[in-house]
């Protein structure tokens, strides 16, 4: 309909050559009537009402279902909504989801499922990694904390229904000759797969014994000793009944019995005296490892709690004294060796189609302590950061600063440790001092704004003079998530009520300390009897001397009393 109308109009309005010749001169086309529009800040001049400050429009986030009518003023989110929700973007308030496994596996954003988390103490690094552990458990990944030195993860893993394996002097043992599930796994397989599992378990146990010897002696075993250990372990396996797990004392026994196979690699040239001379040093180290030497019996007694490969697991090594660096190093190595043995078994079974595929999220918290404890640990982490993708393992490494890595005594180790950050799929930085920026910038590109942000997050907390408390540090829970050279995502981790209950690192400080005399406490608890029998000493009450304040009214339980009696 419209077309003929237009055509007729066009014909009518088109002057013929005769009309053009005869008609009046052409008029200029009428100017369109457009109302004048004010500039962005309003009319200038008197009475114009020009605004000096233009308020930014409020931004709201919503799903397209709820806010579909607000087009065209909508914008997509700046970061992918894939992974564990960790908090809100500090600049835009947008929710941020990120974790190394989801960003590698589902979002394809990073080339390696690993994260390096660094920041000053107390700013929430472990708390954020705990969030990852909880979230990833929801996605079906199993967190594996191979050596919790604080402990930061025990409560969480327990709450997730996982396994807490306690290790320490007199608390729990981890037999380094324990093949774990390897025997059962090999029995379910055939051919090369079964051989691979047995060979891997053998190599792991051999490496672990050699590491213990290195730590005990503070020097690595010689080539000949390594070969002797390897052969002695094989002899031990052949001799041991399949239902029994050998311990270090059995290995020592094999060494002393001098079987032909072991003598052959010891090159004793047919002389038993020469064999004894060759193996003397190794024998004395093994005696130290089995008979309560510096490392105690932690690795020579049967394993107290066998590890499960189908549940979140934490090895609680927090009872080991911080100053006991050798034992810490040995315990961490043993946990890593045992833990990766379980991961290997799970992978082999999944490859053979016998079990579902399981992914693990390995947490190495307080990495600085592990790296300083022993040289062997740097090598282990180095290998782990290169192989974790092939092993189907996500990795989170946590330390304070880049200087921790630079403080390693050996130049080779320093280079390797720097590689941990370079190879990490994502780097998550909390507040860091200014001096760290140059070092960090060499491995992750940071803009000046990002650097200023990180430095500002280290500001000290304010002192609330009225409440008589210190407020939380301003940078607590703030992180910058960096992936390669991309702009970092600043995020604040908000804790949920459930997490706050699990995050309590001040459990021992909720009750005010009391210094009442045991005599003044109720006899009904039987405390007086204990003192009278000499089981517990009566504490000296400094506060409640003759003219001191009256004894406290609150009566602690007998447990608390006997526990706190000096
Ligand atoms: N996002 C947060 N919101 C509120 N409190 C937090 C948050 N993150 C951490 N905290 C609190 O801060 C304290 C220290 O946290 P956390 O142990 O995670 O720090 P860290 O960086 O791992 O310290 P360190 O370097 O000493 O191991 C804890 O009491 C924790 O509850
Ligand atoms: Mg921590």
Which tens digit of pLDDT belongs to each residue from 166-211?
Answer: 998 888 889 989 888 888 888 888 888 888 888 888 888 888 898 8
Instruction: State pLDDT tens for residues 351-387.
Output: 889 999 999 999 998 888 878 777 667 887 888 788 7
Between residues 134 and 566, the one the model is more confident about: 134
Mean pLDDT of 15-43: 71
Position 532 scores a pLDDT of 53
Mean pLDDT of 152-176: 91
Q: Indicate if ligand 1 lies below 6 Å from the C-beta of 122.
A: yes
The tokens for 16 are: 């013929």
Band (pLDDT 50/70/90 cuts) for residue 33 is confident
Shortest-distance ligand to the CA of residue 122: 1
Cα separation, 304 vs 408, in Å, equals: 34
Give the distance (Å) from ligand 1 centre to CA of residue 508.
Answer: 17
pLDDT at 527 over 60: no
Position 23 scores a pLDDT of 61
Shortest-distance ligand to the CA of residue 155: 1
Position 75 scores a pLDDT of 62
Position 526 scores a pLDDT of 56
Q: Indicate if ligand 1 lies below 6 Å from the C-beta of 151.
A: no
Give the distance (Å) from ligand 2 centre to CA of residue 82.
Answer: 25
CATH 3.60.70.12 at 78-141+359-492, yes or no: no
User: Which residue's C-alpha comes closest to atom 15 of ligand 1?
Assistant: 124
pLDDT at 454 over 90: yes
Query: 90 and 456 in contact (C-beta within 8 Å)?
Result: no
Position 147 scores a pLDDT of 87
CA of residue 206 relative to chain centroid, distance: 28
Shortest-distance ligand to the CA of residue 156: 1
Beta bridge partners of 463: 470
Position 133 scores a pLDDT of 95
| Pocket mutation for ligand 1, best pick of 86, 124, 369 (most atoms within 8 Å of C-beta) | 124
Give the distance (Å) from ligand 2 centre to CA of residue 88.
Answer: 21
Position 507 scores a pLDDT of 66
Residue 454: asked if its preceding bond is cis (omega within 30°), the reply is no
Ligand 1 atom nearest the C-alpha of 505 is: 29
Position 11 scores a pLDDT of 45
Q: Indicate if ligand 1 lies below 6 Å from the C-beta of 493.
A: yes
Contact partners, residue 144, CB within 8 Å, separation at least 6:
312, 313, 339, 343, 360, 361, 362, 363
Position 361 scores a pLDDT of 95
Position 404 scores a pLDDT of 85
- Return the number of other C-beta atoms located less than 10 Å from residue 288's C-beta: 16
CA of residue 246 relative to chain centroid, distance: 33
Instruction: State pLDDT tens for residues 410-453.
Output: 888 888 888 888 889 999 999 999 999 998 998 899 999 999 99
Cα separation, 346 vs 307, in Å, equals: 12
User: Which residue's C-alpha comes closest to atom 13 of ligand 1?
Assistant: 122
Q: Is 531 helix (H, G, I), strand (E, B) or coil?
A: helix
User: Which residue's C-alpha comes closest to atom 29 of ligand 1?
Assistant: 505
Lowest-pLDDT choice from 51-65, 134-148, 262-276, 278-292: 51-65
Domain boundaries, the chain: 78-141+359-492, 174-358, 511-564
pLDDT at 531 over 50: no
Cα separation, 117 vs 100, in Å, equals: 11
Shortest-distance ligand to the CA of residue 492: 1
pLDDT mean across residues, the chain: 81
Between residues 354 and 1, the one the model is more confident about: 354
Mean pLDDT of 79-84: 86
Query: 98 and 84 in contact (C-beta within 8 Å)?
Result: yes
Q: Indicate if ligand 1 lies below 6 Å from the C-beta of 121.
A: yes
Give the distance (Å) from ligand 1 centre to CA of residue 474.
Answer: 12
Give the distance (Å) from ligand 2 centre to CA of residue 482.
Answer: 20
pTM of the model as a whole: 0.77
Q: What does each C-alpha distance from 472 to 126, 129, 264, 432, 480 come to in angstroms? A: 16, 19, 66, 17, 19
> Which phi and psi angles does 86 have, rounded to 5°?
-105, -15
Band (pLDDT 50/70/90 cuts) for residue 528 is low
Position 76 scores a pLDDT of 61
* Crossing angle of helices 325-351 and 375-387, rounded to 10°: 20
Length of the chain: 566
User: Which residue's C-alpha comes closest to atom 26 of ligand 1?
Assistant: 121
Cα separation, 413 vs 420, in Å, equals: 11
pLDDT at 19 over 70: no
Position 24 scores a pLDDT of 67
Position 562 scores a pLDDT of 33
pLDDT at 529 over 80: no
Between residues 517 and 269, the one the model is more confident about: 269
Find the farthest-apart pair of alpha carbons in the chain and give their distance in angstroms, rounded. Answer: 137
* Crossing angle of helices 191-217 and 223-239, rounded to 10°: 130
Cα separation, 332 vs 189, in Å, equals: 30
Mean pLDDT of 458-464: 82
CB burial of residue 244 (10 Å; 0-12, 13-18, 19+): exposed
pLDDT at 313 over 60: yes
Between residues 166 and 242, the one the model is more confident about: 166
Give the distance (Å) from ligand 2 centre to CA of residue 506.
Answer: 14
Q: Indicate if ligand 1 lies below 6 Å from the C-beta of 363.
A: no
Instruction: State pLDDT tens for residues 327-338.
Output: 888 888 888 888
- The sheet with strand 95-97 has its strands ordered as 95-97, 85-89, 489-492, 478-482, 426-429, 114-118, 393-399, 360-364, 142-148, 313-316, 163-166
| Pocket mutation for ligand 1, best pick of 403, 490, 503, 509 (most atoms within 8 Å of C-beta) | 503
Position 485 scores a pLDDT of 82
Query: 152 and 130 in contact (C-beta within 8 Å)?
Result: yes
pLDDT at 549 over 50: no
User: Which residue's C-alpha comes closest to atom 10 of ligand 1?
Assistant: 124
Give the distance (Å) from ligand 1 centre to CA of residue 131.
Answer: 12
């Amino acid at each position: 309909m419209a077309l003929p109308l237009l055509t007729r109009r066009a014909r009518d309005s088109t002057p013929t050559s005769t009309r053009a010749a005869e008609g009046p001169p052409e008029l200029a086309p009428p100017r369109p009537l457009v109302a004048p529009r004010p500039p962005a800040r309003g009319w200038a001049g008197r009475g114009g009402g020009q605004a000096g400050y233009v308020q930014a429009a409020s931004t709201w986030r919503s799903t397209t279902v709820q806010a579909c009518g607000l087009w065209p003023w909508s914008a997509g989110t700046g970061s992918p909504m894939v992974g564990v929700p960790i908090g809100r973007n500090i600049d835009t308030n947008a929710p941020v989801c990120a974790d190394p496994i989801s960003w590698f596996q589902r979002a394809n954003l990073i080339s390696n499922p690993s994260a390096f988390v660094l920041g000053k103490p107390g700013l929430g690094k472990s708390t954020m990694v705990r969030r990852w552990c909880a979230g990833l458990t929801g996605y079906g990944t199993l967190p594996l904390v191979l050596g919790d030195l604080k402990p930061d993860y025990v409560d969480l893993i327990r709450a997730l229904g996982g396994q807490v394996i306690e290790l320490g002097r007199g608390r729990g043992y981890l037999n380094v000759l324990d093949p774990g599930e390897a025997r059962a796994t090999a029995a379910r397989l055939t051919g090369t797969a079964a051989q691979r599992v047995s060979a891997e378990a053998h190599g792991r146990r051999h490496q672990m014994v050699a590491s213990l010897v290195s730590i005990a002696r503070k020097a690595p075993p010689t080539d000949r000793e390594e070969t002797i250990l390897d052969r002695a372990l094989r002899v031990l396996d052949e001799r041991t009944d399949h239902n029994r797990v050998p311990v270090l004392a059995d290995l020592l026994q094999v060494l002393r019995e001098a079987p032909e196979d072991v003598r052959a690699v010891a090159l004793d040239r047919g002389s038993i005296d020469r064999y004894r001379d060759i193996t003397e040093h190794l024998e004395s180290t093994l005696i130290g490892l089995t008979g309560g030497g510096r490392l105690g019996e932690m690795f020579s007694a049967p394993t107290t709690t066998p590890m499960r490969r189908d549940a979140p697991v934490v090895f609680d090594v927090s009872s080991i004294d911080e100053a006991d660096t050798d034992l810490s190093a040995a315990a961490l190595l043993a946990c890593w060796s045992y833990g990766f043995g379980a991961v290997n078994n799970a992978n082999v079974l999944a490859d053979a189609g016998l079990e579902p595929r399981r992914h693990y999220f390995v947490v190495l918290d307080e990495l600085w302590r592990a790296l300083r404890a022993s040289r062997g640990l740097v090598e282990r982490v180095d290998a782990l950061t290169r192989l974790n993708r092939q092993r189907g393992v996500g990795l989170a490494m946590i330390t304070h600063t880049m200087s921790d890595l630079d403080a390693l005594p050996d130049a080779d180790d320093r280079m390797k440790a720097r590689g941990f950050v370079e190879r990490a799929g994502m780097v998550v930085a909390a507040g860091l001092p200014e001096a760290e920026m140059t070092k960090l910038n060499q491995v992750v590109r940071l803009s000046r704004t990002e650097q200023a942000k990180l430095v500002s997050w280290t500001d000290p907390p304010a002192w609330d003079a009225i409440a008589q408390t210190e407020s939380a540090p301003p940078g607590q829970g703030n992180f910058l998530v960096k992936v390669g050279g991309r702009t970092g995502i600043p995020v604040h981790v908000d804790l949920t009520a459930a997490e706050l209950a699990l995050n309590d690192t001040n459990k021992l400080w909720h009750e005010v300390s009391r210094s009442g005399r045991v005599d003044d406490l109720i006899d009904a608890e039987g405390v007086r009897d204990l003192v009278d029998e000499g089981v517990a000493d009566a504490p000296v009450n400094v506060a409640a001397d003759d003219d001191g304040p009256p004894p406290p009214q609150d009566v602690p339980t007998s447990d608390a009393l006997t526990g706190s009696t000096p």
